[in-house]
Structure 1
Amino acid sequence: MNPTIDPHQHPFRIANFRAYWLSRFAGTIAVSAMSIVIGWQVYNLARETMDIRQAAFMLGMIGFAQFVPLFLLTPITGLVADSFDRRWIVRGTTTLLVLTAATLWLLTWSGHLTLGALFAAAVAFGVARAFSGPAYSALAPNLVPRAVLPTAIAISSIAWQVGTIAGPSVGGLLYAIHPEVAYGVATLLFLVALVFMFLIGPVAQPAAQTDHRPLARIIEGFTYVRRNRLVLATITLDLFAVLLAGATSLLPVYARDILHVGSQGLGVLAAGMGIGAAVTAIWFSIRPMSRNVGVKMLVAVIVFGIAILTFGVATPIVELIGLTPGTIAGFPIHPAFVLSLVALIVAGGADMISVYVRQSLIQLHTPDVMRGRVSAVSQLTISASNELGEFESGVMASLLGPVGAVVFGGVGAIAVTIGWARLFPELGAAKTFDPPEILETEPQHGEAKP
C-alpha cells in the first residue's frame, strides 16, 4: 500500500479504487443481463420439445456447465493470482467475456443460436470467472488501507449488487425489444469494464515466488483454510446454505409457468435479491458492522433460508388466503408475484449480511501473499454453491417439481446453519473482524497460522 495514502481515507477518494469499482459495476451489469437472457433462452428453447421438469433440468445443466471449468481451474487460478499482476489477469478474462457476448450477439442476430452455443458460452463464463474471481478479490485489499478494507468491501459489494439489480431488469427489457439488443449492450458494458481496468495504475502485490514448487503452494492455500477454523466455517457455511437454497436458477420456470409474468416479470424477479442486497450494502458503507459479526452472520443465513422458503410457497399461500389480483395506478398486480418479489428482496438483504461478514473475515484473517489462493478456495465454494446449486435445483425440480425444489432448499439452508453453529463455535465467538494478530507473511510449507 502506498504509504502516502491516509489510512482513514474513504475508498472513493483513491483513484485506483474508483477505477476498480467502475470496472466491476459495468462488468456486473453485463454478466447479470447475459445470465438472465441465457437462462430465458435456454428454458424457452427447451420448452419447445420438453415438459416443465425436463426444461428445468436443462437450466440446471447450464449451471453445471459453468461449474466444471471453475472446479478444474480454481486451484491453479489462485496460484496465478498470487504470482502474476492481478490487473492483467482481470483484463484478460474481461476480454474473453467481450468476445463471448459479441459471439452470442452475432448468432442471435443471424438466427443461428442453439442450445449448444448457449452451453459453450456458459463454459466460457466459467473459465473467465475461474481466473478473474481470485484476482478481483485479492486485488481489492491492495488498493485501500487496511483500516478501511471493510468499508471498501461494502462499497465494492454495492457495485456488484446494484449491477445485479440493473442487469436482470435491463436484460429482460432489452430482450423484450429484441434478443440481440441485450447481447449488444452487454458487449459494450464489458468493453467499458475493460477500459476502467486498464486505468488502474501499479499497485502493491506480493513478490513473485521463484521457489519452483507450485503444487506445494497450491496445497498451502487449502491447508490454510482447513486449519483456520473461522475461515473454514465462513466458507463452508455459504457453500452448503446457498447450494441447497439456490432458487434463482428456477426463476425462468416461475416467470413463465407459475407466475405467468413473462420476460419483463423475470427481470423484476431476478433484480429482487439485488435490491435487498444493495440497500444492505449501502447501509454498511455508511455504518460498517463492528460487533457480534459471527452471530449476525448465522442469523442472516437463517433469515435467507426462511425467505427462500416463502418465495417457494408464495402461490399456495396466496391461494390459501384467498387473495385475488388487483390493480395499482392502473397496473395489474398479482399478490403471488408481489409476495415472491418481497421474499427475494429479504433474501438478498440477508445474503448481503452473510457476504459482508464472510468477505471481511476471510480478507482480514489471511496474509496478503496467500490471498489469491485463499480467495480461489473461497470462489470454488461460492461456485459450488451458485453454479452447482443451480444444477442441484434443476435436478430437484425434475424430481420434486419447481415448488418442491425451492421448499427443500429453504428448509435445508436453515438446518445447515443450525448445524454449523454447533459444529463451529468459532462463528458465534467472532465478535469483531480483527484477527488475533496482523498477518503479513506466508506460512511455511505445511503450516498455517490460526
Structure 2
Amino acid sequence: MTQGSLFTHRAFMRFWIGQMASSFAFQMLLVGLGWQIYNLTDSALSLGFVGLARYLPQLVLTLYAGHVADNHNRLHIMIVTRSLMTLTIAVLAVTSVLGSISPAIIYGCCIALGTARAFEMPATQAMVPNIVSADLLAPALTWTASGREATTIIGPALGGIIYILGAGALYGTSTVCCLISTLILAKLHYRHQAREKRPVTLDSLLGGLRFTWKNPVIFGSISLDMMAVLLGSVTALLPIVARDILETGPWGLGLLRSAPAVGAVAMSVYLAWRPVEHSVGRKMFVAVAVFGVMTIIFGVSETLWLSILALLIMGAADMVSVVIRSTLVQLETPDDMRGRVSAVNSIFISTSNQLGEFESGVLAAWLGAVPAIIVGGVGTLGIVALWAWWFPDLVKRDRLDMRPGPERD
C-alpha cells in the first residue's frame, strides 16, 4: 500500500476528520477562554491558572489512562471523552449567554476538559498504528498532525471573529464542532485487539515510564520537546501581547494564535512531499533551536507583521520536531505498550503546554510579558545544547525506522 492510498483508507479518513472537528472546537475554545478570563480579571496570573487547571487532572490521571487504553477499547474511550468535552463546552456557552459566567466556572470547566483529555490522548495516539499499516504510519502521523494544525489556523482566526458576537456564540460553535466529532467517531470501523486484561497495579501503571526511561531515543525526544515548549511557549501570553503591546483586538489575537499553525501546515505539506529520511536526530535539534530563536524575536517585536512572521517560523520548526518525535515513539514501542507509553508522552505534552502556560503567566506577572518571553527563548537554546550533550544516541539517529549502530557512526 502506497502513501497515496492513505486517502482511500476509509477508517483513517473518518478518524482524521473526527480529529479535525475536535481540534477545531478546541482551538476556538482556547481563544474564548484566554480573552474572556483576561477581560474578567485583567490579570496575567489568571491566564496561567487556566493552563494549570487543565494540566493538573492530566498529571494525576494520565498514567492510569494509559493502563485503561491498553486494556479497553480505545475507540470507546475516545467517544466517552469527546462526549464529556461537548457537555463541558456547552456549560461555558450557556453560562456566557445567561451572563452568569465567572472565573470559578471557567476554572472548573478547564478541570473537566483536562480530565477528559487525560484519557483521550493516550487512546488517540495509540489507535493510529492499529488503523493503518506500518508502511503508512509516518505519513498517517504527518497528515494527522497537519490536519490538526490546519484547524489551528482557521479555528483561532474564526473564533476571534465569532467572539465579536459574544462568548456564548463562540462556545456554542465550539460545542457543535465537538458534537460532530463524537458522532463521526461513533461510526468509525475499528477492530479492537482483545487481550487479557491486566489488573491495575503499580507495576502496570509505571510500565510506560520504565520503558520510556530505558529508551534514550524516546525519552530524549519527548523530554526535549517538553522542556523547549515549557520554557519557550508564548501561547498563554498572546492576549497580553495582542491587547497591550500590539494594541489589537480579538481578531488580532486570532491571527496570532493561527500563525504558528500556518507555518506548521506549510511544513507538513513539505514533509509529505520530502519526508525526513536521514539525520533525523540532528534535524530535530536544529528545529528546536530555530524555535528558541524565533521566540526571542517574537519577544522583542512591537509590530504585528513581525510577530506573525516569528510565530509562522516557530510553527514550522515545531512541526519538524513533532513529526520526528511522534514517529520515533510509535515505531520504538510494541503495541501492548503503546497506550502506557502514549500516556507518558501525553504527560510530557501536557506539562509543556498547560504547565508552560502557568509558568508563562507567573513569569509575566513577575517580570513582565516581554522579559518573560525572551527568557523563555534563551532557556530553550540552553536546553538544546544540554540535551545534545546528554543524549548523543538521539543526535546520531539517522533514520526513523532504525537505531544507530557502530557501523554507521
- Smaller-chain TM-score range? over 0.9
Partner AA of 1:298 in structure 2: F
Please give the residue correspondences for 1:87-166 in structure 2 after superposition, counting only pairs within 5 Å: 87-166=75-154
C-alpha distance 15-426 of structure 1, shift in aligned 2 (>3 A): same
Q: In the alignment, does 2:264 pair up with 1:269?
A: no
Note the C-alpha offset of 1:9. Answer: 6.0
Q: How does 1:196-215 map to 2 (within 5 A)?
A: 196-205=184-193, 207-212=194-199, 214-215=201-202
**Alignment pair present for 1:191 and 2:179:** yes
What is the deviation of 1:211? 4.3
Pair 1:210–1:178, CA change in 2 (3 A): closer
Whether the aligned pair in 2 keeps the contact of 1:155 and 1:281 (CA below 8 Å) is: yes
Q: Which residue in the other structure is 1:286 paired with?
A: 273
Contact 1:73 1:130 in 2 (8 A): yes
Bigger Rg, structure 1 or 2: 1
Give the C-alpha shift of residue 212 in structure 1.
3.0
Residue 222 in 1 paired to residue 189 in 2?
no
Bigger shift: 277-286 or 294-303? 277-286
TM-aligned CA deviation for residue 359 of structure 1: 0.1
Alignment of 1:433-448 (within 5 A): 433-436=400-403
- The residue number in structure 1 matching 2:66 is 78
AA matched with 1:100: T
AA of the residue aligned to 2:316:
G
The alignment status of 1:351 with 2:322, answered yes or no, reads no
1:43 is paired with a residue whose SS is: helix
SS in 2 for 1:200: coil
Equivalent of residue 394 in structure 2, options 423, 427, 449: 427
Residues 89 and 107 of structure 1: is their aligned pair in 2 closer, same or farther, counting only changes over 3 Å?
A: same
TM-score by length of 2: 0.97
Is 1:31 matched with 2:26?
Answer: yes
Q: Deviations over 1:301-340 (max 9, x none)?
A: 000000111001012xxxxxxxxxxxxxxxxxxxx11000
How far is the alpha carbon of 1:10 from its aligned partner? 2.6
Alignment correspondent of 2:220? 233
Given the alignment, which residue of 376, 383, 387 partners 2:354?
387
Q: CA deviation at 1:213?
A: 5.3
Partner secondary structure for residue 402 of structure 2: coil
Please point out which of 219, 222, 234 is paired with 1:247.
234
Instruction: Describe how 1:279-358 pairs up with structure 2 within 5 A.
Output: 279-315=266-302, 336-358=303-325
Indicate conservation of the 8 Å contact 2:16/2:147, yes or no. Answer: yes
Q: Post-superposition shift, 1:214?
A: 3.2
Distance 2:349 2:202 in 1: 23
Rounded to whole Å, the distance in 2 between the matches of 1:41 and 1:422 is 43
Q: Which amino acid aligns with 1:111?
A: G
SS of the aligned residue for 2:368 comes to helix
Q: Does the 8 A contact of 2:397 with 2:403 survive in 1?
A: no
Q: 1:418 is matched with which residue?
A: 385
Q: Does 1:43 align with 2:43?
A: no
CA contact (8 A) 2:74 2:192 kept: no
> 1:435, 1:204 → 2: CA distance?
28
Note the aligned Cα RMSD (angstroms).
1.3
How far apart, CA to CA, are the structure 2 residues paired with 1:435 and 1:107? Answer: 52
Q: CA deviation at 1:436?
A: 4.6
Matched, 1:15 2:10: yes
What is the identity percentage for the equivalent residue pairs of Structure 1 and Structure 2? 38
Q: How many residues align?
A: 404
Structure 2 residue identity aligned to 1:346: I
CA contact (8 A) 2:3 2:139 kept: no
Contact 2:36 2:167 in 1 (8 A): no
CA deviations 1:89-108 (Å, max 9, x no partner) are: 01011001110111111101
Relative to the length of structure 1, the TM-score reads 0.88
SS at match of 1:10: helix
Counterpart AA for 2:90: A
| SS of aligned partner of 1:434 | coil
- Opposite residue 214 of structure 1, the aligned amino acid is T
Q: 2:363 aligns with which of 366, 381, 396?
A: 396
Q: Say which structure is richer in helix.
A: 2
